[in-house]
Amino acid sequence: MLNASAMSSIWMRQTTWAAVALAVFGAGFAVIRAVPAGTAAPAGGSNDVVSRSSDSETEVSASLASAADGSLAVAWIADGGGRDGSGRYVGVRVSEPNAGKLGPILRVDTRGETVSHDSIVALPGNDFELVWQGGDSVYAARISRGRASAPVTIARNASEPRAASTPNGTVLVSFTYVEGPEKKRKFGLAISHDAAQFPFRYVGDAAEGAISDVCGDDDVALVTDVDPARGVVAHRAEIAGEAPIETSTVSTIGEHVARAAAPCFVSRDESFVVYGETERPQDPTESRIAEALIFVRSRDGARNFVTRAAHRTPTHMLLPTLLRREQAFTLLAVMGSGAGDAHASASVIVLGADGRSQNGLTRTAVAPMTMAATPDAAGWIGDSLGLTFAAGVTWAAVPDNGGGEAHVALVRVL
């Protein structure tokens, strides 16, 4: 395993691509352009730049998934940059099996609609499903190496989607949507068994500023709701049938919850919801920074969350991203002293089964980085990082806009 300095010496390798194809997909609104392949996924502990292009100023909001054959799919938003920046398209690359050579860049845009909130998840048959917001709608498209399906609409008047897939390949998408003359905000949950049709159901009312996340196994879907007033709430839905949705409170009264999504994990009767605590709830910027992560466990099928454990790192955390496998958690986050820290790093820590204990050393993926918590701050990297496991390796996808040419680095971490 290479150390941080050895890894960081490789990621500056230059690669340039030129657009060679243009395809127009269904309903005349979405464009996917293929850019030549030729870059291998990082091997032997290295990093690789996967997203450089000549038509965007920054690359933000990385998402990462792995298929059963070890293929990696990395997605990101190509952004205009700065205070007035807007998402121009979603970029996606898929590798060969066992984290092999990366395929061409697929550029997904919506003919002038601003794109944001991308998620990519694995499907059976070694394909992937990409979900994103385009304008005021939420869309999905099936992605394979070098190809993408025509996008389908999940919901109109909808925003901020988050996607997950279950072991059997069911795709779960949570989002907020607006309904009725009063423009009432609600949470929706779309469940798709074929990654093509996305019927959705009402989950609960969404407060202004509320953030959702989603997870599930083959039986139960869980939507987490980070509400500025109520704290963290979990909504439990049966994947099959029309049983009423059950709602549980996860956070404690008076707790200062960080303004970030609360990832969750469901496996039979055991479920986890993880959220950040912050010391600065009154500050819109600082409240995105977590001083601790709270791991809350349910042992009754995600109905009641009662067992709690806190993990406090020596630094503050921005965009904590979690992966759970083999009864342990892997944490990826931008770590530093606080908002605006230009000497922060994107680092990985392996935690114990309940999230409390730390196993092994902290590993650096990309450094230095800026803890930019607002879109108009220098070094802004969006609202997500990518983390997955493939070919016996833990991988991270991290946007780096702090210096030089903006890009997303795909990093072999552990």
Domain boundaries, the chain: 1-165+386-414
Confidence tier at 6 by pLDDT (50, 70, 90): very low
Neighbouring residues of 304: CB distance < 8 A, sequence distance ≥ 6: 248, 298
pLDDT digits (tens, 9 = 90+) for 56-71: 888 999 999 999 999 9
| Confidence at residue 293, expressed as pLDDT on a 0 to 100 scale | 97
Residue 136: what residue type? D
3-state secondary structure of 109: strand
**Distance of CA 142 to CAs 2, 336, 371, Å?**
35, 37, 33
The Cα 93–Cα 145 span in angstroms is 7
The Cα 174–Cα 211 span in angstroms is 10
pLDDT exceeds 60 at position 20: no
**DSSP state string for 385-404:** -EEEEETTEEEEEEEE-SSS
Confidence tier at 296 by pLDDT (50, 70, 90): very high
Bridge partners of 25?
30
Confidence tier at 233 by pLDDT (50, 70, 90): very high
Residue 407: what residue type? H
| Confidence at residue 84, expressed as pLDDT on a 0 to 100 scale | 64
